[in-house]
Amino acid sequence: MKNRFGELIDIVKNDWIREVTDASVSCTVIVHLYEDSLIECQLVDEAMRALAPRFKYLKFLRIKSTHAIENWPEKNLPAIFIYADGVMKMQIVTLTHLYGKSMRASDLEWYLVEKGIITDTELDDNPRLSSPNSSSLKVCSSVFRHVSSNRDSDDDNYEDD
């Protein structure tokens, strides 16, 4: 039961209730809202494809943003929704917390570790802090929203760009 996934799966709007809401009752579901033309969305796809086989207890999905939510603004992409217990627990809009256009799979992994979603990582520290080039990285502006009723830190605030 624990190792039942292992890949990034494409869904369509008609799949949402079954694949996201209902499925999140028994596992954590991570959904990427994307548009093919955005490099940031491609980075999230690559990261999720790398993480899915390693964390098979997480269900990694992706759906075209405007298919999921009509008129979803492109400026709010990529977006990652994290569902558990049948409801959305977190929402990441754009990639500030994940290092923008230089995001790597290890950045997403570390973020999910910090939020308690991944518990069996081989990472000991934030990979950006242990990287020799970490001081030269630029972080893009972002929007982040933590939609849980149990806020886990003061730095998870929603900001308008």
Q: Which domains does the chain possess?
A: 8-145 (3.40.30.10)
Phi, psi of 41 (to 5 degrees): -65, -40
| Helix, strand, coil in percent for the chain, rounding step 5 | 35, 20, 45
Q: What is the pTM of this model?
A: 0.77
Q: How far apart are CA 111 and CA 118, in angstroms?
A: 9
Mean pLDDT of all residues belonging to the chain: 81
Predicted pLDDT at 125: 82
Alpha-carbon torsion angle 3, 122, 98, 150, nearest 10: 70
Which residues lie closer than 8 Å to 64 by C-beta, 6 or more apart? 33, 34, 35, 36
Confidence band of 124 (pLDDT split at 50, 70, 90): confident
pLDDT digits 0-9 by tens, 37-96: 999 999 999 999 999 999 999 999 999 999 999 999 999 999 999 999 999 999 989 887
